Amino acid sequence: MTVATRPLIVNSDRLNRSIMELAEVGQLLNGGICRIAFSDEDRLARQRVQHWMREAGMSVRIDAAGNIIGHYAGKRDGAAALATGSHIDTVPVGGRYDGCLGVLAGLEVVRVLHENNLRLNHPIEVIVFTDEERSVIGSKAMAGEIKEGPEYYCRLNGQPIQPCLEKIGGNWSQIHTARRDRSQIAAFVELHVEQGGVLEHLKLPVGVVTGVVGQYRFAVDVIGRPNHAGTTPMDMRQDALVAAAHVVLAVNKIAVETPGNQVATVGYLNVSPNSTNTVPGRVDLRIDLRDLSQEHLEYLVERIQQELATIAAHTGTEITMRQTLHILPTLSASHIMGAIEQVCEEMGLKYIHIPSRAGHDAQEIGRITDMGMIFVPSRGGISHSELEYTSPEECTQGANVLLKTFLKLDQTYA
């Protein structure tokens, strides 16, 4: 029987059992998960996933960036792979689903094909990317985007990246060999929990991701003049914190009132000298700005710079803005979005088009090949927490959408 006529669905019990079993590695007393990249827990989880890949009939290799690549051969010689995957490392107190669902759903797709003795025209690759939560070094290396020296990837505890990669089978000196291209990966589709509350709020089971937003971060330095809080008249002050407050409100106003779907946040303030009876002399604050359009992001940055100049003149302070991060947006391929939409309609699942405002490995891989993403709901919009939850039914629906999307894409690519 051919793939086109055989109804295929994932094994829900097996998928969700795998999620629970992987969550046992690094489980905390509060129910959260701690699997920091390169830790003993991360290495144990990686071993477990590799074992499952081999059981599912996949060959497994580790590239120089430490990425685990499970390969399920296709029928067509020399065909580029249809790839999926995500990450299994976590933040210090993470949940069971962030990243892990994408890896294990990809594994389940291969398990279904393997147990039915089926091969697609294209090979399928399930990829576990290295250190998504902090450096995104795995997917950056695969996209050929490692531009920095090893010191850039030094761990928070000061440990160099070289021995970290060695512990998981990688090799910094050969990291350039991890680069892939379109001739090797025809398309990449990542299933992920939304990590936000839109789908739950709208009571929709699936989000068809339109792209992963670009991001700017800026360090803003506001310099005033510290002085005695009791003896300095209000009209003679150069209060850096007052100026900073205007900056916070201006950033929020620009994001709210400018047409579009941008988000802007000031989530960090450091006040000096931070004394109750002293007029603040200096404030360090940070701006996070995100949107799906690079052109629109540049427009917003220009608006913010104009506002800062006005605020500085009005408050008698000096305000400088220094870029600390710039990540280009990555748009989803329209034909992959179309395939996901068709699958949802065939399955009777309502969906919405939604941007991803969090970063994902798909953002980097989308720089070298066609990319798409599927979102399933996160209860309460909570992620990076022990309270992170996506129901077994929602995980299964997402995995079935992924499976059926691969079956469509297998006919799309030559």
CA distance 296 to 259: 10
Checking if the pLDDT of 11 tops 80, the result is: yes
Residue 414's pLDDT is 75
Strand partners, 240: none
* Residue 168 contacts residue 61 (beta carbons within 8 Å): no
Percent of the chain at pLDDT > 70 equals 99
Tell me the per-residue pLDDT of 73-92, one tens digit each, with 9 for 90 and over.
999 999 999 999 999 999 99
Residue 2's pLDDT is 43
Average pLDDT over residues 147-169: 95
* Residue 33 contacts residue 388 (beta carbons within 8 Å): no
DSSP helix/strand/coil, 200: helix
Tell me the Ramachandran region of residue 169: left when phi exceeds 0, alpha when psi lies from -120 to 50, beta otherwise. Answer: left
Integer-rounded Cα radius of gyration of the chain = 24
- pLDDT band at residue 5 under the 50/70/90 scheme: low
Checking if the pLDDT of 232 tops 90, the result is: yes
- What's the fold here for domain 214-327? Alpha-Beta Plaits (3.30.70)
Crossing angle of helices 240-257/294-315, nearest 10°?
Answer: 150
Residue 4's pLDDT is 46
Q: What share of the chain is helix, strand, coil (3-state, %, to 5)?
A: 40, 25, 35
Torsions phi, psi for 269 (to 5 deg):
-140, 135
- pLDDT band at residue 273 under the 50/70/90 scheme: very high
What tokens were used for 206?
A: 């699936």
Checking if the pLDDT of 69 tops 60, the result is: yes
Residue 7's pLDDT is 82
Average pLDDT over residues 336-345: 98
Tell me the per-residue pLDDT of 108-156, one tens digit each, with 9 for 90 and over.
999 999 999 999 999 999 999 999 999 999 999 999 999 999 999 999 8
For residue 378, give the nearest of 407, 364, 357 by alpha carbon. 357
Tell me the per-residue pLDDT of 31-51, one tens digit each, with 9 for 90 and over.
999 999 999 999 999 999 999
CA distance 129 to 143: 12
Q: Give 12-213+329-412's CATH code, choosing from 3.40.630.10, 3.40.190.10, 3.30.420.40, 3.40.630.30.
A: 3.40.630.10
Average pLDDT over residues 262-270: 97
Whether the bond into 226 is cis, omega within 30 of 0: no
Residue 156's pLDDT is 87
Average pLDDT over residues 285-306: 97
Torsions phi, psi for 328 (to 5 deg):
-70, 145
Domain ranges of the chain: 12-213+329-412, 214-327
Residue 258's pLDDT is 98
String of DSSP letters for 318-374: EEEEEEEEEE--EEPPHHHHHHHHHHHHHHT--EEEEEE-S--HHHHHTTTSEEEEE
Rounded (5°) CA angle 70-74-75: 165
C-beta atoms surrounding 262 within 10 Å: 20
Q: What is the mean pLDDT of the chain?
A: 96
C-beta atoms surrounding 2 within 10 Å: 6
- pLDDT band at residue 1 under the 50/70/90 scheme: very low
Average pLDDT over residues 203-225: 97
Residue 3's pLDDT is 45
SS (H, E, C) 21-83: HHHCCCECCCCCECCCCCCHHHHHHHHHHHHHHHHCCCEEEECCCCCEEEEECCCCCCCCEEE
Checking if the pLDDT of 52 tops 90, the result is: yes
Average pLDDT over residues 360-382: 97
What tokens were used for 103?
A: 């890896």
